[in-house]
């Protein structure tokens, strides 16, 4: 992992110069307008009062970022969640493309859905809830039988991060995961910076250090609907991946260890196709995932060219994804049941959202042929993902 972490350090030094803070530091809040009232928008951001809580003795808040075009993002330091993101559609109207809740209590009740959360210490699944590192076995909480998913019983999505709103367009969250928290070794100091850029992109920069050898795989678990939250299925969205291979899974969603070409399979999005065009094919992998819930092996992983592009069929909104990560987990909302009421009052119906989780591969600690997720003292974990929005021409 040392080569993976350090190879990007020169590239990302400018985004990592903000000092880390630990402990229960008061958040620096920038005055922002909690609702959008301009004439092109029908989007309403959450009420700040719904996010003013105290959890585990630490205060939670709502934060709003805004760029020069009026694009806005709402976040909270509970789980470092991205709650809402309003971007213009083909008519110029602002559309909320991130599925989120209107208050903290709703996030706590629906914690297993991970809507918009920062995921850690290990994103995705670890087989049978254990791994070995330097000859020692570590046992984790099994929360997705028979496996561990997204950190365990209480991953980073359910803790209160320290927050510092740097300016109207940038906020940094920091969290110290203590040695053996959720069964993982090492005191892991994490920093996640969200920047809403003036080219209508959300740039997420991650940094972590440890005092013992450990594993780390951080990601964001936003659910997107580019037609707008609650505006129907995502099956008619058009998707394209720069990924000639993917990692097949077994019946418990753990990679088999193979890296398999997508050519000739329903996983071939090397040319644009709608998400729903082959999702119901008689394919063993689609049956294992109940649809798409698979890691795509990216042909290249840097932030100079998109690794994936998605276009909303109704809105014309185009989302391009750039990342330094080697994999991208595409999830097609297969377990959305309509049981949660989202921001704006609509429910999270079946396949009304999709996730694009940039990451290292699932179960890498148990599969040495995959890119390593080991972080050692003296190394710095750095990774960047960008979700950029425009309109399809």
98-157 pLDDT tens trace: 999 999 999 999 877 799 999 999 999 999 999 999 999 999 999 999 999 999 999 999
Prior bond of 5 cis (ω within 30°): no
Q: Which pLDDT belongs to residue 8?
A: 33
Is 221 one of the catalytic residues?
yes
- What's the order of all strands across the beta sheet hosting 354-359? 223-224, 354-359, 327-331, 293-297, 245-247, 260-261
pLDDT in tens, 273-282: 999 999 999 9
Average pLDDT (28-48) is 56
Catalytic residue among 182, 195, 325, 357: 357
Number of domains comprising the chain? 1
* Least confident interval from 29-33, 49-53, 371-375: 29-33
CATH number at residue 117: 2.70.98.10
Average pLDDT (195-203) is 98
Average pLDDT (197-223) is 98
Residue-number span of the structural domain to which 142 is assigned:
2-391
pLDDT in tens, 242-270: 999 999 999 999 999 999 999 999 999 99
Catalytic residue among 61, 81, 150, 221: 221
Q: Which pLDDT belongs to residue 302?
A: 84
CA–CA distance, 384 with 374 (Å, rounded to integer): 18
Mean pLDDT value across the chain: 90
Is 130 one of the catalytic residues?
no
Prior bond of 213 cis (ω within 30°): no
């Amino acid at each position: 992992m040392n080569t993976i972490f350090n190879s990007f350090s020169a590239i990302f030094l400018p985004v990592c110069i903000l000092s880390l803070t630990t402990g229960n530091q008061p958040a620096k809040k920038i005055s922002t307008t909690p609702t959008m009232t301009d004439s092109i928008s029908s989007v309403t951001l959450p009420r700040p009062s719904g996010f003013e809580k105290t959890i585990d003795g630490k205060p939670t808040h709502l934060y709003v970022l805004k760029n020069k075009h009026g694009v806005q993002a709402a976040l909270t330091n509970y789980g470092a969640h991205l709650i809402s993101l309003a971007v213009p559609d083909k008519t110029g109207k602002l559309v909320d493309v991130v599925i989120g809740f209107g208050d903290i209590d709703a996030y706590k009740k629906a914690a297993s859905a991970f809507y918009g959360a920062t995921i850690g210490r290990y994103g995705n699944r670890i087989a049978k809830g254990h791994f070995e590192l330097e000859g020692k076995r570590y046992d984790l909480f099994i929360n997705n039988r028979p496996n561990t998913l997204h950190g365990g019983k209480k991953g980073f999505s359910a803790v209160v991060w320290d927050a510092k709103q740097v300016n109207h367009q940038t906020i940094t969250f920091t969290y110290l995961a203590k040695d053996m928290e959720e069964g993982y070794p090492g005191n892991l100091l994490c920093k996640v910076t969200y920047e809403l850029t003036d080219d209508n992109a959300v740039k997420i920069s991650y940094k972590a250090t440890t005092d013992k050898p450990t594993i780390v795989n951080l990601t964001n678990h936003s659910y997107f609907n580019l037609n707008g939250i609650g505006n129907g299925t995502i099956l008619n969205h058009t998707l394209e991946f720069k990924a000639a291979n993917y990692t097949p899974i077994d019946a418990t969603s753990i990679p088999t260890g193979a890296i398999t070409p997508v050519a000739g399979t329903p996983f071939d999005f090397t040319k644009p196709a709608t998400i729903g065009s082959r999702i119901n094919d008689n394919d063993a992998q689609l049956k294992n995932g109940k649809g798409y819930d698979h890691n795509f092996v990216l042909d290249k992983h840097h932030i100079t060219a998109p690794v994936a592009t998605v276009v909303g069929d109704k809105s014309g909104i185009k989302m391009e994804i750039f990342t330094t990560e080697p994999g991208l987990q595409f999830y097609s909302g297969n377990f959305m049941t309509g049981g949660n009421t989202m921001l704006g009052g609509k429910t999270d119906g079946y396949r009304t959202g999709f996730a694009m989780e940039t990451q290292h591969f699932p179960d890498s600690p148990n599969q040495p042929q995959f890119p390593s997720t080991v972080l050692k003292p003296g190394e710095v974990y750095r990774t960047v993902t960008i979700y950029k929005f425009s309109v399809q021409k």
